[in-house]
Structure 1
Amino acid sequence: MNQPFQDILTSENELRALLGYPSEVVKRKSIRHLDHHCRAYIAMSPLLFLSTADEHGSCDVSPRGDAPGSVLVLDDGHLVIPERPGNRRLDSLRNILVNPNIGLIFIIPGLEETLRINGQAYVIKDDSILDQMIARDKRPVLGIGVKVEECYMHCAKAFKRSQVWDPGTWPEEAELPSAPAIIAAHVNAEEFTEEVVRRGIEESYAKRLY
């Protein structure tokens, strides 16, 4: 495939010349521990996005959703995300094994500012920790432990521009993309029709959330 980009920036100086520098508040807002504000935010968040990369730098972002309070804060420097059943690709877990650097974005519905946390991750199976993360009578087999290195609030501009929390901007249900249709097209195998994929997805949601 031909490279379509002709005017590529290659230095921070070029970026700064166009976009400028952060304000004093932005420069100073990052902290290196989970204070009571961060803890309260995490306790109310039912959804986070988890970013990892492999040993070659190939990146992955994965959503993690659960009831508010499902992420366990152990102390000012450590938290644990339960590993609930997924599709068993194990993208995030395999990345963490070879490259522990991790980035998290926590979201609270209706709040446009998000909480960002960066740090080092570990795949853990500590019984004393996982026993505290039982949901619907199911105990996670593993958890993602995070050593916190940076925390800060991210401004609301992306959410304001997208209006994602405004139901009036949401498309009608009939207009939404069909996940089964997309997956069936990407799998591209005669035996995996859209209907077969749909039934598989529905069964997974009904029986294997926890």
Structure 2
Amino acid sequence: MTAFEEPEPHVRAKISTTVHAWAATFVTTSPFVVVASSGADGYADASPRGGPPGFVRVLDDRTLAIPEEPGNRLVQTFRNLASHPAIGLLFLVPGMNETARINGTAEVVRPGEPGWERFRTEWTHSDRLAAVTVVHVAECYYHCGRASKFSGLWDVDRILAHRQNPPLPRRPPRAATSASDAVPVWNGTGHTPRCKRSEPRC
């Protein structure tokens, strides 16, 4: 770590052990969060979660709840948390360069298990949830918007151009097993359709 200078005091000071008012508002405004976890074998995973703004609930200033709908059934996050409960969350709000980061530990609560009853009516679609990930907050902080600015993440012209002419297909034409397989063979233009209930899980 000798290549990096120590952070300025004001940078250290922004790390809170609770979900303060700014972070709580950010979470309840956010429709998208990246969930990072790692297993006992040391391998890490980052998985997206999305829903209406505020789909992640702030239960109190030290606890969040993430609704878990059935997904691709690979359940990497669940497997990781079962053996290594550490979790990292990165919340995004469309159009805002700043992000909110929350780290801590988590437990997965499934229907019928102790603690499930409190979540049974928390979301309008609670009846179809596979589980709820309950996050116990250890660190919470604001992250400046430099990365978003440098990347032009919310550049409206670029977003519109990609919607009109997607730069790659919505998914690979077949499972990529090598670097050559990963090169998409596609020359289509225009919109790609959204996933339908009848389609295979992503």
Could you tell me which of 150, 174, 181 is aligned with 1:184? 174
- Are 1:48 and 1:106, in contact at CA under 8 Å, matched by a contact in 2? yes
Distance 1:29 1:54, change over 3 A: same
- Cα drift, residue 21 of structure 1: 2.5
Per-residue Cα deviation, 1:39-81 (whole angstroms, up to 9, x for no partner): 1111100000000001011000001000011111111111110
- The corresponding residue for 1:134 is 124
- Cα drift, residue 183 of structure 1: 4.8
Distance 1:51 1:168, change over 3 A: same
- The corresponding residue for 1:6 is none
CA RMSD of aligned residues (A): 2.4
Per-residue Cα deviation, 1:5-46 (whole angstroms, up to 9, x for no partner): xxxxxxx12x22xxx222221011000011222211111000
| Letter aligned with residue 90 of structure 2 | I
Could you tell me which of 132, 157, 165 is aligned with 1:168? 157
- Cα drift, residue 168 of structure 1: 1.8
Give the structure with higher Rg (CA).
1
| Unaligned runs of at least 5 residues, structure 1 | 1-11, 189-193, 195-200
Q: In the aligned structure 2, how far is the partner of 1:112 from the partner of 1:68?
A: 17
| Structure 1 residue 109 corresponds to structure 2 residue 94 | yes
- Cα drift, residue 149 of structure 1: 0.3
- The corresponding residue for 2:45 is 60
- Cα drift, residue 153 of structure 1: 0.5
| Letter aligned with residue 132 of structure 1 | E
| Structure 1 residue 32 corresponds to structure 2 residue 21 | no
- The corresponding residue for 1:124 is 109
Per-residue Cα deviation, 1:121-180 (whole angstroms, up to 9, x for no partner): 101131221421233x75413111100000000111100001111122345443421133
Between the two proteins, what is the percent identity of the paired residues? 32
By percentage of residues, which structure has more helix? 1
Residue pairs, 1:68-83, within 5 angstroms: 68-83=53-68
- Are 2:120 and 2:127, in contact at CA under 8 Å, matched by a contact in 1? no
Could you tell me which of 180, 197, 200 is aligned with 1:207? 197
How high is the TM-score relative to the length of structure 1?
Answer: 0.78
| Structure 1 residue 152 corresponds to structure 2 residue 141 | yes
- Are 1:83 and 1:141, in contact at CA under 8 Å, matched by a contact in 2? yes
| Letter aligned with residue 165 of structure 2 | A
